[in-house]
Structure 1
Amino acid sequence: MTLSALRFGAFISPFHPLGRSPTLAMARDLDLVRHLDDLGFDDVWIGEHYSGGWSIISAPEMFLAAAASQTKRIGLGTGVVSLPYHHPFQVASRIAQLDHLSRGRAILGLGAGVSKADAQMLGIDPETRWRRMDEGIDAVKRLLSGEEPVSVSTDWFSLDRAELQLLPLQANIEIAVASNYSENSMRLAGRHGLSLLALGGFLPGGPKVDLEQRWRIAKESAAQHSTNVSRDGLSIVLPVHLAETRDQAFQDVRTGAESWLFDYFHDTLGAPVRQSTPPGREVEELVDQGGAIIGTPEDCITAIKTLYNQSGGFGRFLTVVLDWTTQAKQWESFNLMAEEVVPHFSPSSLDSLRRGQLRAAPGTNS
């Protein structure tokens, strides 16, 4: 695994400020997925939420099925399906169908569910979610493999010689576990040999986390259960906004980012935002603490390289899509990333163009 093989995508939770049309917000999300496909990004991930007001998609597979019909090559991931809320047979069946609709582009992201309000409405004890994740992952993996009928009996689901009548188009569909760098998610990824979506880096007011130490937990769990985890399957998930100048980038997002910090993280989730941070400096503090990348393409290149070296390496970088600014400026940020950031992490074409320039320069021996 090297920086030259780094993949790039987007993570659309989605976050949409209250007071805006949810119908148009979902349409804009779909427009963005088409744009990302045109720009050549590797994959896009869509979340599942039932409360909180800001995140309005409750069935990511339905959204991704619509996206599949309007895109050509981009990978389509659930980011994530809250597995403890669903029967594993239905989770496996739906991702298999999406894989066929997308011609082999589906990715299954799974999470334990982070919202207590969601769990409460469904009558689920939040304390059971990690056990449910473990049991559910095992069933989903066995069902997707199609190797034999699956019989399981737990206190929240049962399977009686169950088989998917439609297996995925891909022989080995990627399965990823969402992690806020918790030890539980790292252990589950290791136990089942799955990919990881590292979501916790952008949580305002959250503690600093040693990702290298957390990765060791995943590796130790994998060794204990005779599975394997690879840093190629580790995705780092962070908000990014780029502009031609650093001042312009901050100006673009300041109002929207402050709304997200206070109206969503503080008022909705109860997370601490303003502690010792001077008023008006919250966005700068978020960037300084590594919770977002805001600046120029050069700033983004430097930040990703630093994060890669500090973390020990990862295989995918996902930009969290947030309504911090206008659609035009959001799209321009992704344009700058595609044109000026991504090529620096797949440099072969850039290197050959530089060699071509040198070869043609006056006085150069051919």
Structure 2
Amino acid sequence: MAGTKMRFGAFIAPFHPLAENPTLAIERDIELVQWMDKLGYDEAWIGEHHSAGYELIASPELFIATLAERTKNIRLGTGVSSLPYHQPLMLADRINQLDHITRGRVMFGVGPGALPSDAFMMGIEVAKQRDMMDEALDVIVPLLKGETVTAKTDWFTLNEARLQMTPYSRPHVDIAVASQVSPTGATAAGRHGVGLLSIGATNAGGFNALASNWAICEEKAKDNGKSVDRANWRLVGPVHIAETAEKARENVRFGLEKWLYYFREVAALPLAPDDGSDPVDALINSGMAVIGTPEDAIAQIERLQEQSGGFGAFLQMAHNWADFEQTKRSYELFARYVMPKFQGLNENRKASLDWARSNRETFMGQAMAAVGTRVAKHIEEKGTDNIRPEILEAMGIKKDKGAAE
């Protein structure tokens, strides 16, 4: 019996340095998801950002609508929609429309908003963003179930609001709440009985909080008469692999420093020490990133399984560390050699190979006996002419006298 099939995908913010054409950068993000679709990845999550110049996708819904026409199987999620930025009915209606357009392939990731600069431009107090997310989620979940909602807060009002179309997915689209270190996301996911999206699962704080955040999620679900499933828990971490560790390290020199610059100077997250040490070594040694071989990626996922107690999907954080061809190659190697390990794809193949090997002597004996029977019948009818000497020797038969050598 094959094991549980873990899902795999990518979390695409994205991160594009300033030197290149932004139109082509967005097109490359589209091409990456198309490539993932061909390779058999399960999910792609698309971010929403409005400032700071690197994370260029302002509307994940538009991006998903485009990809829905260019892909066949991969599921497409908002990763994430920043709830304080949207009137809840309007956002729910757009997601519901995508649910129909994609025939159920859309997923709805939500969060409070990652960049303070986005909130500043809209006059939203950063201190209120998490409360606003909770208030929005309280009405969006029932709306996406097709229910009628009346609610009033200090930033939106709903009067007998409901979606015109019955949801395509039942009871609603797949919903996941973003989580970093704080219990905010886990609390919201548990309260509504929806999925959890651990974006910083491999950095020190996020890694250490995995087990506790899931415990909070389960506790809150129980308190609210809901249930949560580890299969709907997704962990995110950066990966770049190549045929050798040396090649992977060489590949990421292409764009790693520009990625680190963004987080050190703009997003202000301590992802790697800025002390003059080799950032590749720092990322690997801290456990935050995989820069190596498929075996290293397997070890990272096993490490996350042990720390978390089990989860349903691993998402690679898209990062543009390597040039696009080497990036595509990394995703291909991951699909070929990492995903099968956690999806039970080769368990029956291995069992079949082991069975054939252990019974080889019996099977080969039967095969030789069958061949011998046919050879003997031929000799009986035609003699030993046209039978190769080594075959006769193997059967212990001497050539007929006078037969041509």
Q: 2:17 is aligned with what amino acid?
A: P
Q: Does 1:158 align with 2:154?
A: no
Following TM superposition, by how much is the alpha carbon of 1:358 offset from its aligned partner in structure 2, in angstroms? 3.8
Which residues of 2 match residues 117-132 of structure 1 at below 5 A? Answer: 117-132=117-132
Which residues of 2 match residues 29-108 of structure 1 at below 5 A? Answer: 29-108=29-108
Following TM superposition, by how much is the alpha carbon of 1:58 offset from its aligned partner in structure 2, in angstroms? 0.5
- Which shows bigger deviation, 298-307 or 23-32? 298-307
Match of 1:169 in 2: 168
Contact 2:45 2:78 in 1 (8 A): yes
Contact 2:272 2:283 in 1 (8 A): no
Whole-angstrom CA distance in 2 between matches of 1:190 and 1:284 = 37
Alpha-carbon spacing, 1:278–1:29, altered in 2? closer, same or farther (3 Å): same
Whole-angstrom CA distance in 1 between matches of 2:263 and 2:144 = 36
RMSD between aligned residues: 1.9
Q: Does 1:286 align with 2:283?
A: yes
**TM-score normalised over the length of structure 1:** 0.93
Q: Does 1:302 align with 2:299?
A: yes
Alpha-carbon spacing, 1:158–1:335, altered in 2? closer, same or farther (3 Å): same
Q: Secondary structure at the match of 1:5?
A: coil
Match of 2:353 in 1: 357
Moved over 6 A (4+): none
Whole-angstrom CA distance in 2 between matches of 1:208 and 1:71 = 33
Whole-angstrom CA distance in 2 between matches of 1:217 and 1:156 = 28
Whole-angstrom CA distance in 2 between matches of 1:18 and 1:59 = 20
Whole-angstrom CA distance in 2 between matches of 1:128 and 1:89 = 20
Which residues of 2 match residues 301-340 of structure 1 at below 5 A? Answer: 301-340=298-337
Identify the match of residue 267 of structure 1 among 265, 268, 292: 265
Whole-angstrom CA distance in 1 between matches of 2:56 and 2:180 = 21
Q: Secondary structure at the match of 1:4?
A: coil
Whole-angstrom CA distance in 1 between matches of 2:226 and 2:263 = 36
Following TM superposition, by how much is the alpha carbon of 1:181 offset from its aligned partner in structure 2, in angstroms? 2.6
Q: 1:317 is aligned with what amino acid?
A: F
Match of 1:214 in 2: 213
Q: Secondary structure at the match of 1:268?
A: helix
Whole-angstrom CA distance in 2 between matches of 1:341 and 1:274 = 25
Q: Secondary structure at the match of 2:253?
A: helix
Contact 1:198 1:235 in 2 (8 A): yes
Whole-angstrom CA distance in 1 between matches of 2:3 and 2:54 = 34
Whole-angstrom CA distance in 1 between matches of 2:297 and 2:125 = 41
Whose relative contact order is higher, 1 or 2, with alpha carbons under 8 Å and at least 6 apart? 1
Whole-angstrom CA distance in 1 between matches of 2:114 and 2:45 = 17
Q: Could you tell me which runs of 5 or more consecutive residues in structure 2 were left unpaired when the two chains were aligned.
A: 364-405
Following TM superposition, by how much is the alpha carbon of 1:323 offset from its aligned partner in structure 2, in angstroms? 0.9
- Which shows bigger deviation, 216-225 or 332-341? 216-225
Contact 1:258 1:283 in 2 (8 A): no
Q: Secondary structure at the match of 1:14?
A: coil
Contact 1:181 1:199 in 2 (8 A): no
Match of 1:252 in 2: 251
Following TM superposition, by how much is the alpha carbon of 1:360 offset from its aligned partner in structure 2, in angstroms? 4.3
Alpha-carbon spacing, 1:200–1:358, altered in 2? closer, same or farther (3 Å): closer
Q: Secondary structure at the match of 2:328?
A: helix
Q: Deviations over 1:128-149 (max 9, x none)?
A: 11111111111111111113x2
Alpha-carbon spacing, 1:45–1:207, altered in 2? closer, same or farther (3 Å): closer
Contact 2:272 2:282 in 1 (8 A): no
Following TM superposition, by how much is the alpha carbon of 1:352 offset from its aligned partner in structure 2, in angstroms? 2.1
**TM-score normalised over the length of structure 2:** 0.85
Whole-angstrom CA distance in 1 between matches of 2:79 and 2:207 = 23
Contact 1:300 1:341 in 2 (8 A): yes
Whole-angstrom CA distance in 2 between matches of 1:223 and 1:355 = 41
Following TM superposition, by how much is the alpha carbon of 1:111 offset from its aligned partner in structure 2, in angstroms? 0.6
Q: 1:165 is aligned with what amino acid?
A: Q
Whole-angstrom CA distance in 2 between matches of 1:53 and 1:143 = 33
Q: Deviations over 1:33-68 (max 9, x none)?
A: 111111110010000001111100000000000000
Whole-angstrom CA distance in 2 between matches of 1:272 and 1:264 = 11
Following TM superposition, by how much is the alpha carbon of 1:192 offset from its aligned partner in structure 2, in angstroms? 1.3
Whole-angstrom CA distance in 2 between matches of 1:314 and 1:281 = 32
Whole-angstrom CA distance in 2 between matches of 1:318 and 1:207 = 15
Contact 2:200 2:207 in 1 (8 A): no
Match of 2:387 in 1: none
- Which shows bigger deviation, 30-39 or 126-135? 126-135
Contact 1:201 1:290 in 2 (8 A): no
Contact 2:183 2:213 in 1 (8 A): yes
Q: 1:281 is aligned with what amino acid?
A: D
Q: Could you tell me which runs of 5 or more consecutive residues in structure 1 were left unpaired when the two chains were aligned.
A: none
